[in-house]
Chain A
Amino acid sequence: MKRRFFIQTVSLGSSGFALGAAVPFLGSNDSLGKKVVFEPNLLMSLGEDGIVRFKYTRHEMGQGSFTGLAMIFAEELGADWEKIQVSQADYDEKYGNRLYGNTGGSGTVRRMWEPLRELAATARTMLISAAAEKMNVPTEECFANNGLVIHKPSKQRVPFGELASLASHQEVPKTVTFRDVADYNIIGTPKKNLNQDKILDGKLQYSMDVVVDNMVYACIVRAPIMGLDVISFNAEEVKNIEGVVDVLQVSNRLKEVDESDTKTSMRNGVAVIAKDTWTAFEAAEKLQVEWTDSPLENGNMESIENDLAMAKGNSATYTIFETGDVVDEFKNTTSTFSRTYRNPFQAHALMEPMCATADYKKDRCEVWSSTQHPNRILQRTGKVVDRPISFFLLHNLPCGGSFGRRFYDDFITEAVVLSKMLKRPVKVVWNRKDEIATSGYHALQEEEHTVSLGENGKILGWRLREYMSAQTEELQWAFPFQIYYNTQRLQEVVQVPFRLPIMAWRSVQAHPHALGLESFVDELAKYLGKDPLDYRLELLENQIEFPKSFGEKRFEVNFNSVKEILVPRAIRVYKELSRLRNQYVTSNGENTLGFAGHSFGPTFAGQMAEISLENNKLQVHKITCVVDCGLVINPQLAANQIEGSIIWGLSALYYNNITLKEGKVEQQNFHDYKVLRIDKSPEVEVIFLKNEDAPSGIGEPGVPPVAPAILNAICNATGKRIRKLPIIGIDNLELA
């Protein structure tokens, strides 16, 4: 283990962080009226009852970091897990971006790992000096564990609660030492999801469950195409429906304020305001809106096909990176191998449609909703109503799934705008068809891989052209696109003018990348007469020098982290998959296997799919996922994330496909936008490779390998290669 993160001493002065956040004071009361005597930082308070109250400053959407962050904090504090109480913090700028930044990119645990431990270690150090003072022993002879400070030589112990008052008078340390991983007794154990009990009794409050005095309900009929505006609507007729309070036009003023950024903000529309949700839904059905005309390009799937075909001949819009003269290599060689893979438009179809309640008053606007990115959302919503972030009090409630959707501000802006217009609290509820048909989508994208080949199949140059819309570019951030650097590489983007709004979606661009790369490597191996799994290891173990710089600096690709973290992880994962394959073959497994792996952030996940195809009926029997994500905080909830990611990936492989007709999305609900149901869910096994490096994220890495692993297996079984998602006809597979 090269990079140990433990037994590490951190100077707090240098970061200026824990010190700034550490403001010990005496004798306040918390919201329950309990006396709080030790409040060493913004996230924690300790009362004389010994209860550690910890504030969760991210968004809980099922990924489990509500539990995970508390575990990290409790571990570093040396607390008793049974005496931790966790609550969701309302958004407040005082937390800063480091403590209350966005929740996304599988980065909550990764980004909070250092700051949480700094804060907890500071508090622990103060508790220990308080105990030393109380017992009249040297500080160095004391340590904290399980909610007690223990004096090693005498085995005297003092519970945290008894130290609360004394600790608040201790000096804030300038440096702290982190606990050794060997002493961990919370991290690495399967702690229960802290929301589980409330969920099972139907008591966990989601945005959809919010009730505010004097509140009305809104259902909005939104522009079927982004950018269309309302010309007229039958207001009077709808207002006459019993239970309808008002019918109002809502317009996105953001365009006037900030021309640059309207792609994912609220659509123009007409809101039906009613006394209950159902009446609002029903009345909205009766609403007839005349919309402005749209300059339609790419309004149909046929025109999208045409534009993609046209783009094939275009030169690159921009280069992502280039490590040598790849194009020259193409000119000099006669042997090339090229394949193209397609990811379609996909919707989120999260279980809880978007919902926000706002109470807009003169001096403050209170908002109840669920968001992955409170700072960005309030900034953008604030622009629409011309108010600063501090004008808003946002209660960031747990949500019924987000998967990237709640990164965006549209539904919250709608509630704020309507509440301002109506001068009373408004709850905006999205219907399912709103969520499927008038949302933002995962990008339609083509990945074209070409290699030029020399003697013995040696790769001389490797080009990846990506065909995508301009907006998709925003989502290219921070991905080490590739792990294979055996040759000169060129990666470039050709823009295609799709008009559908593009949003982040579980595993984001890693999904089309993995589909392309991991199918291509498999195909290339077969073409060269090699075993695909062995070939991956061969490529990984024979890399050339990594590029020091690359093309235009649009993207933060840290090649050092690729070389030092990802490649070794990928090798470990593929070696484990090789071992599993041997085991399967030795035990006379009857099904066909397929393999794929991909990174997401610093995490690498590889999968082995076991399938059979009898009479073209595809059955995925089992998927085994091998993951290297650094230290696993909670094995139970981490496995849950991988299991769920695999189901997400299967939905994408089997069904997810948003199509357009005259510019409008054709799908409306779960009957025509299908997702995986229980009868097609395979057996799943999750294997975490032991690694004590800092935790590197678990919410998304399980998604990208699913489709290529199964497509590779299908090819192994039939010799036929499918290169487009979704596959057609699971029970009677259409093979190209």
Chain B
Amino acid sequence: MPRFILNINDIEYTVEAPERMPILWVLRDKLNLTGSKFGCGIGQCGACTIHVDGTPVRGCCVPVKALEGKVLRTIEGVPTEHPVKESWRKLDVAQCGYCQTGQIMSAIALLDRKPKPTREEINRAMKGNICRCGTYKRIKNAIKEASKNQIA
């Protein structure tokens, strides 16, 4: 089985996996990094969102082979005190919480690109993340809150 060297959260991992295996399953089943969640398998729900070179991608769609030499970040690599997590905590956003790690990864990437996103920009960036508990209102407010705090 092919062997890959991956840079995840500033740690170098060596894994054996089929080259077509999506990174989501490498993280979850091979490395026991289970913060990234499985929701749909076809890039429709965003529960598996991680960063590749700072860009948010759906881990269920990207094969491990495409990620050698890239810098990966998962929810486990985002500090607990990160302003986005702080604002999520402050507004008590999560209900069941299953989609929230993906939501947070999308939100962080958005604020990195656009530190002061408009309402439309928030919608455009967060539209790929489904939440069935229906926490959208708090997600929007938490992003605005984090945007303020990041700048301050």
Name B104's contact: one of A200, A277, A671 (CB within 8 Å). Answer: A200
* A654-693, CB < 8 A from B: 669-671, 675-679, 681, 683-684
A340-359 vs B: 1/0 string, CB under 8 Å? 00000000011111000000
Contact partner of A678 (CB less than 8 A), chosen from B37, B40, B94, B136, is B136
How far in angstroms is the closest Cβ of chain A from B77?
10
Interface residues on A, range: 35 or more
Q: Is the CB of A352 within 8 A of B94?
A: no
Convert B64-82 into 0s and 1s, putting 1 for each residue whose CB lies closer than 8 angstroms to a CB of A: 0000000000111000100
Which residues between 62 and 115 of chain B lie within 8 Å of chain A, taking CB atoms? Answer: 74-76, 80, 85, 88-89, 92, 94-101, 104
Q: Does B35 contact A (CB under 8 A)?
A: yes
Residue of B nearest to A275 (CB): B29
Are A242 and B18 in contact (CB-based, < 8 A)? yes
As a 0/1 sequence over residues 343 to 386 of chain A, the CB contacts with chain B under 8 angstroms (1 = contact) are 00000011111000000000000000000000000000000000
Please pick, from B1, B42, B101, B139, the residue contacting A202 in the complex, using a CB distance under 8 A. Answer: B101
Contacting A at CB under 8 A, from B6-62, are 18, 21-22, 25, 28-30, 32-42, 44-45, 47
Q: How far in angstroms is the closest Cβ of chain B from A217? A: 7
A208 within 8 A of partner (CB): yes
Within 8 A of A (CB), among B117-136: 122-124, 126-127, 129-136
B122 touches A678 (CB 8 A): yes
Give the nearest-CB partner of B129 in chain A.
A678
Select which of A197, A206, A643, A679 is within 8 A of B134 by beta carbon.
A643
Enumerate chain A residues within 8 angstroms of B135, measured Cβ to Cβ.
640, 643-644
Given known pairs A196-B89, A243-B18, A677-B127, the reply for A204 and B97 (CB within 8 Å) is yes
- Name the one of A202, A429, A648 contacting B36, with C-beta atoms under 8 angstroms: A202
Contact B80 A201 (CB under 8 A): yes
A643, B138: Cβ atoms closer than 8 Å: yes
Name which residue of chain B comes closest to A398, CB basis: B96
**Complex interface: chain A residues within 8 A of B32 (CB):** 211
Is the CB–CB distance between A645 and B134 below 8 Å? yes
In the complex, what residues of A have CB within 8 A of residue B85's CB? 200-201
Do the beta carbons of B92 and A62 come within 8 Å of each other? Answer: no
User: Does B140 count as interface, using CB distance less than 8 angstroms?
Assistant: yes
Does residue A401 face the partner (Cβ distance < 8 Å to B)? yes
Q: Are B92 and A400 in touch, CB under 8 angstroms?
A: no
B94 touches A670 (CB 8 A): no
B53: min CB distance to chain A, Å: 20
Closest chain B residue to A403, Cβ basis: B132
Does chain B have a CB within 8 A of A63? yes
A646 within 8 A of B: yes
A276 within 8 A of partner (CB): yes
Question: How far is B129's CA from A669's CA once the two chains are assembled, in angstroms?
Answer: 14
Point out the residue from A208, A399, A669, A681 that lies within 8 Å of B42, measured CB to CB. Answer: A669
Q: How far is the CB of B93 from chain A (nearest CB, A)?
A: 8
Which chain B residue lies CB-closest to A675? B130
Interface residues in A627-646 (C-beta closer than 8 Å to B): 636-637, 640-641, 643-646
Query: Assuming the A-B contacts A200-B88, A278-B29, A644-B133, are A62 and B96 also in contact, with contact meaning beta carbons closer than 8 angstroms in the complex?
Result: yes
| A108: interface (CB < 8 Å) | no
Compute how far the CA of A506 lies from the CA of B108 in the bound complex, rounded to whole angstroms. 31
Report A7 CB to chain B, min CB distance, Å.
Answer: 32
- B40 nearest in chain A by CB position: A432
- Over the window 192-234 of chain A, the binary record of Cβ atoms lying under 8 Å from chain B Cβ atoms (1 yes, 0 no) is 1101111111111110110100000100000000000000000
Cα–Cα, bound, A350→B45 (Å): 11
Q: Which residues of B contact A636 (CB under 8 A)?
A: 92
Residues of A within 8 A of B29 (CB): 217, 276-278
B92 touches A401 (CB 8 A): no
Q: Which residue of A lies closest to B99 (CB)?
A: A351
Q: Are the C-beta atoms of B132 and A349 separated by less than 8 Å?
A: yes
Bound Cα distance A643, B39 (Å): 22
In the complex, besides A62-B96, A196-B88, 11 extra interface pairs with C-beta distance below 8 angstroms are A277-B25, A278-B21, A278-B22, A278-B25, A352-B37, A352-B98, A429-B38, A640-B95, A647-B133, A670-B130, A679-B127
Please give me the 8 A-B residue pairs with the lowest Cβ-Cβ distance, nearest first.
Answer: A202-B35, A647-B134, A400-B98, A62-B96, A199-B97, A644-B134, A62-B95, A681-B136
- What are 27 residue pairs bridging A and B, where the CB atoms are less than 8 Å apart in the complex? A62-B95, A192-B89, A199-B101, A200-B75, A200-B94, A200-B101, A201-B75, A201-B85, A203-B35, A217-B29, A278-B25, A279-B21, A349-B132, A351-B45, A351-B131, A351-B133, A352-B37, A400-B97, A401-B133, A431-B41, A637-B92, A644-B95, A647-B134, A670-B44, A678-B140, A679-B124, A684-B137
